[in-house]
Chain A
Amino acid sequence: MENTIKTVNLKKLYATEEVETTALDEINIEIKKGEFVAIMGPSGCGKSTLLNIIGLLDNPESGEYFFLGEEVANYSERKRSQLRKGNIGFVFQSFNLIDELTVYENVELPLLYLKTPSDERKRRVEEVLSRMHIMHRRDHFPQQLSGGQQQRVAIARAIVAKPAVILADEPTGNLDSANGEEVMRLLEELNNEGTTIVMVTHSPHDANYAHRIINLFDGKVVTENIREQFHV
């Protein structure tokens, strides 16, 4: 199966005036199309940094990064942004919805930047809102929704442009267990339909939904477990 994501000797440093910290060190991972991968590790181990690079939000210091077969490690912000558009959907722990926009408008946003025609936009937004069972809340503002509903809106926004990859950063971190469960089932469902999912999580329970778990420690990959093996 072809690789959606492949990194070779990926390295990321954070430097302040006094100290230089190695956030990622010699990261070599491959994620295949249609895979569901969880990245785990203690706080500060570099999970989010890795997700940022995978999500084309940041560049590595050195090493190679292939996204959909393209070497993108040294892409400019502009090129990364173009590639990101429509190819990657993000789901965050804190939902990151725009407070001033309604549910409908938040979900519509990626399509606006993709310059999707308005009829098409309407159809697709309504489709994902229905799918996420949030259609009746379309004209509400994020603050008027429960955490679970907000995360469903965020997932709707992440998938509305039909991206190849969804990157989820602690997607259940701010949710109670029932809502968390629902979000995980939605991600699983999307994965079953063929979307590649990379999820950062602290929760072994959530990680159980993944095919594979990559464990990071101090910026290095320490173990990679196939889920079946994990359960054994």
Chain B
Amino acid sequence: MYKNYFKIALRGFAKHRLTFFINLFGLALGLWAAILIGLWVRSELNMNREFAEIDQVYRIMEHQRYGSDIFTTTSTPGLLANALKEEYPEVERAATYSWNEKNLFVKDEKRLNLNGFYAGEDYLSIFQYPIMHGDRDRALSDKSYIVLTSTAAERIFGHSHVLGETITMKETEGEHSFIVQAVLEPLAHDLDNQFDYILPYQFMFDKPYNSWLHDWGNNGPSTVVKLNKESDYQVFSSNIQSFIKERNEGSNIVLFAYPHQDLYLFGRFADGMQQGGRIEYVKLFSIIGLFVLIIACINFMNLSTAKSQKRAKEVGVRKVVGAEKGALIGQFLSESLMVTVFAGMFALVLVQLTLPIFNNLTDKTMRIPYDEGVFWMQFICVLLFTGLLAGSYPAFYLSATKVVSVFRSTAKSGSAVVWARKGLVTFQFILATILIVGTVVVYQQINYALKQNLGYDKDQLVLIQLEGKLMENFEMFKNALSNHFEVNAISRSNHSMMGRNSSSGNISWEGKDPDFTALFEIMRVDYDYIETMGFELIKGTDFSRDKGADSIQGALINRRAYELITQDHPEAVSFNVLGDEREIIGVVENFHFQSFHQLMEPVILLLDPSYANHAFVKVNAVDMQNTMSSLQSTAESLNPDFPFQYSFMDENYARMYRDDVRTSELAKYFSILTILISCLGLLGLSSHIAEQKTKEIGIRKVLGASTFSILNVINKEFILIVVISIIIGSGLSYWLMQSWLSNFAYRVDFAWWFIPMAAVAILIIAYMTVTLQAYKSTQINPASTLKIE
């Protein structure tokens, strides 16, 4: 019997090629989108979860209270890990680890900039990276050891059998040699931290300029613990709440433990409560994927029911010769499953071809896991879902066709099916409207953020990493550059301007309400900083060499900080920061050093370039290539041991919006896809309507109707549906986008013109699609159509 179904389906496909290709192509596009999104969602859900016993691993995090605000961070004191391990028996392992940084490594003639971090002795026992060579427990036990990934080892040594080999790291303050103590297997792609090396935390801890790590009052590195199997992390979490307060009087920190594997997806906290994170993107794109797939299924349903008149005869005949309803449902479902399987194979090919582009867009290295049974199971489930969903309505509708209709010459579609078809098209276009309006709003917001006045001038502003002699001899570097006409200004700072770097709540002033605390960002800068960055000085003066001592003992603050300091004491001229009394010598306009998701925070600028590792150079844009090469040659002549590392601030700033830009890019592509699939459906449906109206068109032509007026007969079937969809879709998208925009502290207004613009675009596309198809039917000689009737 199935052979018969198969045969009739294949022959039917061959006979109704247009319908078949619209169905196949539409479903393939839908499945393509669904598979791509599925791969991405899978990769996001698996992120950082693949380690053995990862469910026992917890990050120690802090809630810091400032007035009515709670700031949540993963930064912790450098002493925390060991202290927790000593104090709490349930802590099996504990490790401190730092942020990633790039360092220059030298082996013989090879010089490589590698990316890595410092981590405590237990780190590799907590995160059980597969080890190729070496001993997990000993690998970070001495500060002369280093752990390399096999990829890094191959880059440096040409092979990965490098246990016991020595490698040298070059830093500004000197050289250090390390012995390779372990080599890790190449890192899995589902780890968000991709690194080349790990150095012992002890090495970092013992550096003289890192004495701040020895103080319970300072935060910086992360702390991670592995609890034993029996312990309840929530009990542990409540036990450690005042751990820091007990060691640092007056601290505003409440400590808590948070499952490490959840941090990637559920990493956003507001007011001390967990509030989403990347999981929102996962949900958003899962919904988009499902929408696209449903839209593709709707096409299938519409086209199948539209050609039901043609199939009614077959259904009748089959019933007459003995087919029962179940057999017919089976036949139509197996037909839709067959199309879905073809579409699925086509979609896999499309995915394979487009995955590199998608990887680039999403900044991932995904592949189709052909070798995993689970993937095939999921793939088959998606095909079954799609095939059954797409085939369900036609199957039940067609199998219910009254067999007596076979004896009548024509069977008209009942009003129920016409309404259902219209309803499905409406649903499609509602989704299309939401996606289009959504894309426009997202694009507007991202553009708004990228083009906003940030309070500083990020254009033609180059950020140069200060290392080695460049850090020691900055003045020489500055003087050398000052002679270049391309360089307008140069200064340095310890702050990259890309998110929080160093902040403190330990700020006080005369008359300050003792209960009031606020987190101030502290930037340690050099002379000419205001000019280089393009800050607007609204009060007082800049740091100046002429008033050296005043400048060193004074401070510049931004408007937000000034408002806070003067709220209780309008005449305030000084404040206390980290125990030092500072005179306010000037106030600059507020500026963004975080993304637009955050408000502009109070900032204190101190004249203290001793640890400044970022140089900012304002250049003119006449010949950027030449300018950059002269910056490079100047830097390299002064600092031959270190490679020249720079970036442009406008690009760095755009990188802060990586997730948003990605969302907008992806939303753009998926909304184009949705429109494309919806129009494919419209194309097929209009060809059927044109076919059904052959007689009407013939009569109208005989009576003298113009081509245009006939086109309108067919178009009017759709335009009303599309208009209704746009109205509903606009309302829904207004509501959805308002809620998305509320994530931004600074945002565009939802402008009314987004909606008519999307509406006109959709209407034009829909009209053109229908017209394209309907035009053919207006060109048929009425004599022939009327004769047939």
Contacts and interface: CB of A to CB of B under 8 A. Distances in A.
Interface of A: 48, 51-52, 55, 57-58, 77-78, 81-82, 84-86, 90, 92, 96-101, 105, 108-110, 112-114, 157, 161, 169
B15 A110 contact: no
Contacts of A108: 4
A90 B318 CA distance: 11
B514 interface: no
A100 B324 contact: no
11 contacts: A52-B404, A57-B319, A77-B325, A86-B322, A92-B406, A98-B8, A100-B7, A100-B314, A101-B7, A109-B321, A113-B318
Given A57-B403, A78-B325, A92-B407, A109 B7 contact: no
Interface in B384-408: 402-404, 406-407
A81 B324 contact: yes
A157 B321 contact: yes
A105 B7 contact: yes
A172 B402 CA distance: 25
Given A92-B407, A100-B15, A157-B321, A112 B1 contact: yes
A81 B7 contact: no
A57 B7 contact: no
A101 B322 contact: no
A81 B316 CA distance: 12
B323 interface: yes
Which of B319, B323, B325, B407 has the most A CB atoms < 10 Å from its CB? B407
A58 B404 contact: yes
A50 to B, nearest CB: 12
Contact of B316 (A96, A101, A161): A96
Interface in B319-336: 319-325, 327
B89 interface: no
B314 A57 contact: no
Contacts of B327: 113
B618 interface: no
A101 B319 CA distance: 16
Contacts of A85: 322
A113 B8 contact: no
Contact of B4 (A48, A52, A105): A105
Contacts of B317: 96-98
Given A52-B404, A58-B404, A169-B407, A109 B324 contact: no
Given A52-B407, A98-B314, A105-B7, A81 B15 contact: no
A112 B15 CA distance: 24
Contacts of B276: none
Contacts of A105: 4, 7
B247 interface: no
Interface in B1-37: 1, 4, 7-8, 11-12, 15
Nearest to B321: A110
B469 interface: no
Which 3 pairs from chain A and chain B are nearest by CB? A85-B322, A113-B322, A100-B11
B407 A82 contact: no
Given A84-B320, A169-B407, 11 more contacts: A57-B319, A78-B324, A81-B324, A96-B313, A96-B316, A96-B406, A101-B7, A105-B7, A108-B4, A110-B321, A113-B324
A78 B317 CA distance: 16
A96 B317 CA distance: 6
The size bracket of the interface on B is 20 to 34
B318 A109 contact: yes
B324 A82 contact: yes
Given A57-B404, A96-B406, A109 B4 contact: yes
A85 B403 CA distance: 14
A208 to B, nearest CB: 24
A157 B318 CA distance: 11
A110 B8 contact: no
Given A52-B407, A98-B314, A113 B325 contact: no
Nearest to A49: B404
Nearest to A167: B320
B321 A81 contact: no
A110 B323 CA distance: 8
Interface of B: 1, 4, 7-8, 11-12, 15, 313-314, 316-325, 327, 402-404, 406-407
A169 to B, nearest CB: 6
Given A84-B322, A92-B407, A97-B317, A112 B11 contact: no
Nearest to B400: A77
A57 B406 CA distance: 10
Nearest to B15: A100
Nearest to B313: A96
A141 to B, nearest CB: 8
Nearest to A141: B11
A107 B769 CA distance: 42
B8 A101 contact: yes
A113 B321 CA distance: 8
A81 B403 CA distance: 11
Nearest to A160: B321
A113 B404 contact: no
A157 B676 CA distance: 45
A82 B326 CA distance: 12
B12 A112 contact: no
Contacts of B402: 58
Contact of B320 (A57, A82, A112): A57
A108 B323 CA distance: 13
Contact of A100 (B12, B319, B320, B406): B12
A81 B318 CA distance: 11
A110 to B, nearest CB: 4
Contacts of A99: 15, 314
A112 B4 contact: yes
Contacts of B8: 98, 100-101
Contacts of B320: 55, 57, 84, 90, 96
Contact of A81 (B314, B319, B407): B319
A96 B320 CA distance: 10
A10 B335 CA distance: 40
A48 B407 CA distance: 8
A67 to B, nearest CB: 15
A104 B12 CA distance: 17
A69 to B, nearest CB: 21
A161 B15 CA distance: 29
A84 to B, nearest CB: 6
A77 B8 CA distance: 25
Which of A55, A58, A98 has the most B CB atoms < 10 Å from its CB? A98
Contacts of A90: 320-321
A100 B12 CA distance: 6
B79 to A, nearest CB: 79
A109 B1 CA distance: 9
Contacts of A109: 4, 318, 321-322
Contact of B322 (A55, A81, A92): A81
Nearest to B9: A100
Nearest to B319: A81
A100 B16 CA distance: 11
A85 B319 CA distance: 9
A201 B12 CA distance: 33
Contacts of B403: 57-58
Nearest to B314: A98
A97 to B, nearest CB: 7
B414 to A, nearest CB: 13
Contacts of A86: 322
A68 B317 CA distance: 23
A55 B407 CA distance: 12
Nearest to A95: B317
B313 A114 contact: no
A161 B320 CA distance: 13
A92 B402 CA distance: 17
B504 to A, nearest CB: 79
A51 B408 CA distance: 13
Contacts of A82: 324
A2 B617 CA distance: 110
Nearest to B326: A78
A96 B406 CA distance: 8
